[in-house]
Structure 1
Amino acid sequence: MKNKYALSLIEKIQKELLLDKFDCSSTIENLKKLREYSFDDQNPVLTKALRLAYEHLETNGAFLIGIPMDEPIDDSEKEFNFSETNDLESFEYFISLLLDLEKKNNILDLREYNKAFLAF
C-alpha cells in the first residue's frame, strides 16, 4: 500500500502481533480502515482480500486460514490449508503481503488467500 496512514496501520497490527496482543475486534476495525485506504491503490485483489479477511474474523472470531502452499497445484484439485485454531503466523504473513504490492508473488498469495476465504 502507498498511503502513509495505511502503512502505519499495518505496522500497528504487526506490532500487536509481535507483542502477542491480538484482539479480534480491534483487528477487524483496523482491516476495515485499511480497506478504505485500499480504494486509493485501485487494486481489486487487495480490496477483496481485506474485506474477506475481516468478514472471516467476524464470522469465526479467529484467523483459520493457513499460509498458501508454494507448490503449483492443479486448480481442479485445489487443497487449502485450514486451521482449527487461530493461525496468527498465517495472519502475520497475510499482513506482511500488504506492505509491498509491487511484488508479483505478494499479489499471487493474496489471490490464494482470497480463494481460501471463499472455500472456507
Structure 2
Amino acid sequence: MENANALKLIKQIQSDLIANGLVVESIVEDLKKLREFALLEEKPVLVKGLRLTYEHIENNQAFLIPIPSDEPIEEGEESTVEASKSTEKTDLESLQYLLSLFKDVDNKHNLADLREYNSRFQAF
C-alpha cells in the first residue's frame, strides 16, 4: 500500500497481534478501515483479500489459514504432521505474514501469495 496512514495501520495491527493476540472485534474493525484505503488505491486483489480476511476471522473467531508453501504440494502428499500444524501460534504467524503482504502488493511474489490466500479463504 502506498498510503502512509494505511501502512501505519498495518504496523499497529501487527503490534496489537504480538501484544494481545487475536482480538476479533478490533482486528475486524481495523481490517475494514484498511480495506477503505485499498479501495482508494484501486487494488482489487488487495481489496478482496482484506474482505476475505476479516470475514474469515469474524466467522471463525480465529485465523485458520496456514502460510502458503514455497513448494507446491501434490494432491494427497500433505502429511498429517502438516495438517496438525494449525496451532494458534502458526495461525498468528500466518496472519502476520498476510499483513506483511498487504504492505507491498506491487511485488509479484507478494501478489502471488495474496492470491493463494484468497483461494484458500474461498475453499475454506
TM, length-normalised to structure 1? 0.87
Larger radius of gyration: 2
Aligned to 1:2: 2
Q: Deviations over 1:68-101 (max 9, x none)?
A: 1111357xx497x783647100000000111112
Question: Hey, what's the Cα distance between the residues in 2 that align with 1:83 and 1:118?
Answer: 18
Extract unaligned runs of 5+ from structure 2. Answer: none
Question: Hey, what's the Cα distance between the residues in 1 that align with 2:117 and 2:21?
Answer: 23
Residues 22 and 62 in structure 2, CA contact (< 8 A), matched pair in contact too: no
How far off its partner does 1:48 sit?
0.3
Alignment of 1:14-29 (within 5 A): 14-29=14-29
Residues 56 and 121 in structure 2, CA contact (< 8 A), matched pair in contact too: yes
Question: Hey, what's the Cα distance between the residues in 1 that align with 2:63 and 2:93?
Answer: 10
How far off its partner does 1:103 sit?
1.0
Letter in 1 for 2:27: T
Query: In proportion to residue count, which structure has more helix?
Result: 2
Aligned to 1:107: 111
Question: Hey, what's the Cα distance between the residues in 2 that align with 1:56 and 1:33?
Answer: 16
Partner of 1:67: helix, strand, or coil? coil
Q: How many residues are treated as equivalent by the alignment?
A: 118
Q: Deviations over 1:34-84 (max 9, x none)?
A: 11110122111100000000000010000000001111357xx497x7836
Extract unaligned runs of 5+ from structure 1. Answer: none
Identity rate of aligned residues, in percent?
Answer: 52
CA-atom RMSD in angstroms:
2.2
